[in-house]
Structure 1
Amino acid sequence: MDQTNSYNAAAWTGPMASPAAQAGVQPARSRIAVIDVLRGLVMLIMLFDHVRETLYLHMQVSDPMDVAATDPALFFTRLAAHFCAPVFVFLTGLSAWLYAHPASGPRPATGFLVKRGLLLVFLELVFVNFAWAGAFPPSTLYLQVIWVIGLAMIVLGLVHKLPTALLGAVGLAIIFGHNALAWMSFAPGTIAYDVWTILLHRGYLVADGAVKLKVTYPLLPWIGVILAGYAAGPVYAATMAPDRRRRILVAAGVGALLLLALLRGFNIYGEALPWTVQDSAVRTVMSFVNYTKYPPSLDFLLMTLGTGALVLAALEPRDNWFTRACATFGGAPMFYYLLHLYVLLALQHVLVALFGANHGVRYGVDHIWPIWIVALALMPVLYVPCRAFARYKRTSKRAWVRYF
């Protein structure tokens, strides 16, 4: 979640490209390895939120989060996780460009992206849903982030041969324009309703029966993000000077955040929920940064992707134990994702067995700080198998390995 600048196709792993699967060997400051560093970093941030959903589920958060009722510590823990999916999907598109443009010359990526996308949809429906529900079949199948990454990869696989500039323009048009379509709705039970639910509105595709089916990650905005990531690929071409690449990333990041300040500051466009002055400075800040994630609003994407561009620029010259650890996680993204879900499922069962269920059938903690402690404690636990899998992947000739 090993790669030299030649970008060997066999090392492309997980739901996104893995340009630095040799993270423990190759310096983390290489132009491609930094992609895995950022990917690993957001995956570690994601762990805090998933531990929250394991041990603090009785304290629900809404979308957008209720500024007046949500404790600030819980709010900002959840807010940090908002950066994960956009950065993840953007790097998927960026890595797909690198796969399609190796040093030897352009190559088609349709088959690779489509097969990878179909695998992710399958994993979401079976293994991911079971991990969250703890039962099979679960009463509701949730179509979440792995599902939407898979579909976005399939779309990218079908269109990636179009001019890169055109793909970038379409991606930006979707990112900037989908908020203007939010008013549209269709009657449940119609084909138009099902299509629009998949594309832009959260809701049930199957609301009754033994197994329900609910879309929680609508697809359309994420197509925009993956196309934008693909169009950004030339920034990581071998011919791009590092200083120029960092200047481009900084300009893009600062530009996105300045535009966010303008649009959000005056409640012009890009977020359905206007910010308001609250009874304290902290809650006023909470109101300002409280953006819709499902589907991701323009303001949400400006905040997350703008910050992501700045972090990419800052990470590239860094090479230390932390960046190398992040690159190890980032070099096996699908392996890490499934592993951490099942570790958390096992943790919940162990805690119930040891201490009993204190929130319905679950065990939960009463404060947010234990969530941070548990997440930090799990990082080295997860690191060991991720590092071992990365080493196995470097030596194995089995085809399935590169998909994780």
Structure 2
Amino acid sequence: MNRITTIDVTRGLVMVIMALDHMRDLLHTPALTQDPTDLSTTTPAIFLTRWITHLCAPTFVFLSGTSAYLSLQKRNNPAARQFLLRRGLVLLLLELTVVNFAFWFDIQFRTIMLQVIYAIGGGFMLLSLLAKLPARWIAGIGLFIIFGHNLLQAVPQITNQTARLGWALLFRSDLFVFSPSFTLLVGYPLIPWLGIMLVGYASGRLFELPAEQRKPLLLRIGLGALGLFVLLRFINAYGDPAPWSAQKTGLFTFLSFINVSKYPPSLLYSLLMLGLALVFLSLTDRVSNTITRVLTVYGKVPMFYYILHWYLVHLSMIGMALLQGYSFADIPAGPLNFGRPAGAGVSLPVVYLVWISLVIFLYPLCRWYGRYKSAHPENGLLRYI
């Protein structure tokens, strides 16, 4: 089966956008104290800088499921499903070690944050079992999770620590301070993100169709998801724990309308972001130009890009602090601490400038690794990164 370039283009787009959010988190002056989506304190520029990056995780998870489907169709046998299981385990190991060190630069690992790689790794492990089922059944399970998991908002806060931890790992984002020297942050609970992965897996069947059939189908499904989002959001009764409301201006009212919940991903969040992703997949299908070719370079090596960009973002933060007159002694350490001095930071335009510079810097590295990976299919280790 030929590689479907629109998947790489779309994945490349969200990888590039993702770096903007992480750069804002670590470099932007108000990021340590201001929630960028809090309409009482944010600005439209800060809000939209954060909001656009909401596209990244669901698209990445969705396309991970799609890629798993297409890969399994080439080798639909127990060995292929076992590889999916092993890949999930490798991703979990990377999340707990290489990725978390990139987050905190803390050799003592006093903070563990479970983010998108945890969700994808755990999702692959479960998918390796579910992949025996017909794709339409998997689609049904995924849609049931996406449309139904907001009902779990009614579950009261669990007080038992062990049960609360298990619930967080599966269903609800939560923070656990086990001791003054160790904190666990569950940012991406497994089951809500699994729903998105399963729908992405079942959607792999669309990519087996010829492009002239696939493009309009992707567009109709994407527009349908966006239409359902608008309808449910107007009703304002179900699908997101944070209802929208009239604000001080029409622009802020619109921002309230699109201000959907990511932790965990609500139904409305999934409809909006996946709808936009599907529309983009349709619009870029079989489109070849300079932009799509550049994005493809990033999209072919997502894990390589993800790991490397986090280290570069963190090093950029340290470099910023040193350039602003702080010393290494001023860099704080400890649980939930990126190591940014309290007074350090840059304006939003500078964040954008550093972000663009980082993306440009990563391009030749991603191109080299993509070519090296393609030239050495015999190296099985390269399939994991």
Counterpart of 1:175 in structure 2: which amino acid? I
Given the superposition, is the C-alpha separation of residues 174 and 64 from structure 1 closer, same or farther in structure 2, using an over 3 Å criterion? farther
Post-superposition offset of 1:395: 2.0
Counterpart of 1:380 in structure 2: which amino acid? I
Q: Does 1:107 align with 2:87?
A: no
Post-superposition offset of 1:114: 1.0
Q: Is the 8 A contact 2:9 2:293 kept in 1?
A: yes
Counterpart of 1:332 in structure 2: which amino acid? V
Given the superposition, is the C-alpha separation of residues 117 and 368 from structure 1 closer, same or farther in structure 2, using an over 3 Å criterion? same
Q: Does 1:276 align with 2:257?
A: no
SS at match of 1:365: coil
Partner of 2:141: 170
Post-superposition offset of 1:209: 4.8
Given the superposition, is the C-alpha separation of residues 222 and 57 from structure 1 closer, same or farther in structure 2, using an over 3 Å criterion? farther
Partner of 1:247: 216
Q: Is the 8 A contact 1:121 1:146 kept in 2?
A: yes
Partner of 1:200: 171
Q: Does 1:403 align with 2:368?
A: no
Alignment of 1:82-93 (within 5 A): 82-93=54-65
Counterpart of 2:197 in structure 1: which amino acid? I
Alignment of 1:19-58 (within 5 A): 19=3, 32-56=4-28, 58=30
Q: Does 1:381 align with 2:381?
A: no
- Which of residues 359, 365, 370 in structure 1 aligns to 2:345? 365
| Distance (whole Å) between structure 2 residues aligned to residue 363 and residue 348 of structure 1 | 12
Q: Does 1:351 align with 2:331?
A: no
Aligned length: 372
Q: Indicate the percent of aligned positions where both proteins have the same amino acid.
A: 39
| Distance (whole Å) between structure 2 residues aligned to residue 170 and residue 286 of structure 1 | 32
| Distance (whole Å) between structure 2 residues aligned to residue 385 and residue 80 of structure 1 | 25
Partner of 1:27: none
Counterpart of 1:106 in structure 2: which amino acid? N
Q: Is the 8 A contact 2:12 2:298 kept in 1?
A: yes
Q: Deviations over 1:52-84 (max 9, x none)?
A: 012016424777921121111111000011000
Post-superposition offset of 1:186: 5.0
Alignment of 1:145-164 (within 5 A): 145-164=116-135
Post-superposition offset of 1:221: 0.9
Q: Is the 8 A contact 1:170 1:227 kept in 2?
A: yes
Alignment of 1:112-127 (within 5 A): 112-127=83-98
Unaligned runs of 5+ residues in structure 2 are: 332-339
Q: Is the 8 A contact 1:197 1:205 kept in 2?
A: no
Q: Deviations over 1:204-246 (max 9, x none)?
A: 3553252222211111111101110111111111xx2222211
Given the superposition, is the C-alpha separation of residues 96 and 77 from structure 1 closer, same or farther in structure 2, using an over 3 Å criterion? same
Post-superposition offset of 1:113: 1.1
| Distance (whole Å) between structure 2 residues aligned to residue 55 and residue 201 of structure 1 | 28
Partner of 2:286: 317
Over aligned residue pairs, what C-alpha RMSD do you find?
A: 2.0
Partner of 1:144: 115
| Distance (whole Å) between structure 1 residues aligned to residue 104 and residue 287 of structure 2 | 39
With structure 2 as the length reference, what TM-score do the two structures score? 0.92
Q: Does 1:306 align with 2:306?
A: no
Counterpart of 2:191 in structure 1: which amino acid? L
Partner of 2:41: 69
Q: Does 1:227 align with 2:198?
A: yes
| Distance (whole Å) between structure 2 residues aligned to residue 47 and residue 132 of structure 1 | 13
| Distance (whole Å) between structure 2 residues aligned to residue 289 and residue 62 of structure 1 | 19
Post-superposition offset of 1:365: 3.5
Post-superposition offset of 1:362: 6.1
Q: Is the 8 A contact 1:137 1:211 kept in 2?
A: no
Given the superposition, is the C-alpha separation of residues 242 and 395 from structure 1 closer, same or farther in structure 2, using an over 3 Å criterion? closer
SS at match of 1:141: strand
With structure 1 as the length reference, what TM-score do the two structures score? 0.87
SS at match of 2:154: coil
Post-superposition offset of 1:193: 1.9
Q: Is the 8 A contact 2:29 2:345 kept in 1?
A: no
Partner of 1:12: none
Q: Which moved more, 1:221-230 or 1:366-375?
A: 366-375
Q: Is the 8 A contact 1:207 1:213 kept in 2?
A: yes
Given the superposition, is the C-alpha separation of residues 373 and 64 from structure 1 closer, same or farther in structure 2, using an over 3 Å criterion? closer
Unaligned runs of 5+ residues in structure 1 are: 7-18, 20-31
